[in-house]
Amino acid sequence: QLVLEAKELNAIVPTDNTSNMNSRELASNRRLINRLNLLIRRGDRIGIIGPNGIGKSTLVRILLKLEQADKGRVKHGFGFKPAYFDQKRESLDRDKSPWVILTGGGSDTIEIDGKPRHVVRYLRDFLFDETKMTQRVATLSGGEQNRLLLAKLFAQPHNFLVLDEPTNDLDLETLELLQEVIADYDGTVLIVSHDRDFLDRTVTKILAFEGNGKVTAHAGGYSDYLERRKLAIARKSLVNTNQKQK
């Protein structure tokens, strides 16, 4: 089942100092994504990798239709329900407690997969003790805020899970919990991360930002991608050496 289709996506980053650039320099310096075509199917586990600032989060937001591509289009499949774990934690109200964020403040139960659950038991699944459950989000650590955002996301119906740098500020116990949650998830997963081991454990396909707007797809995890890239560089170097000798 097709979940998402992207055709001929192009994206550029706004630049203030462009007055002295010719058209070729302008395009080269501002291009994030160049003519990307992508099909995502139900059950896909995809990792997005590349240096900081290269456009990974921009691509995610375009795919979710939270931002508009400069060219191209994105089409969502029937019944598309995304859940977005954003690295800035913008969806958490810092003045509210985990309890209130999950229940709205008027109840002690929440609905998970169509069934009522006590909020205390649910938050314990995400490693919260009862003291932390009633504290303001602003007083929680980065790892605790990440766990709360995960708890909030999984309390909502969705079939397309997007995690943008989810391993930041996570301790080992929380990291293991996240890996278990992803393994048990029956929808589609899209993960932006620099964590090689985490991606090797959670994804089966890589989208790699190669620079100058080029985004390439590779089967396997992060380590598989690095190995193939290493071999490709070695082959290219050998070809160049042979040409020079001729």
Q: What is the pLDDT of residues 46-102, one digit of tens each?
A: 999 999 889 999 999 999 999 999 999 999 999 999 999 876 766 789 999 999 999
78 and 30 Cβ atoms separated by less than 8 Å: no
Report the run of H or E that residue 41 belongs to, with start and end: strand 31-41
* pLDDT score at 142: 81
> Can you name the residues that pair with 74 across neighbouring β-strands?
6
* pLDDT score at 22: 53
Residue 35 has pLDDT above 80, yes or no: yes
Count of beta carbons in the 10 Å neighbourhood of residue 101: 19
Distance separating alpha carbons of residues 26 and 12, to the nearest angstrom: 10
Instruction: State the pLDDT confidence band at 199, using cuts at 50, 70 and 90.
Output: very high
| Amino acid symbol at 112 | I
Closest CA to 215 of 40, 76, 35, 69: 35
Q: What is the mean pLDDT of residues 124-151?
A: 90
Q: What is the pLDDT of residues 23-33, one digit of tens each?
A: 555 455 568 99
| Average pLDDT of the chain to the nearest whole number | 87
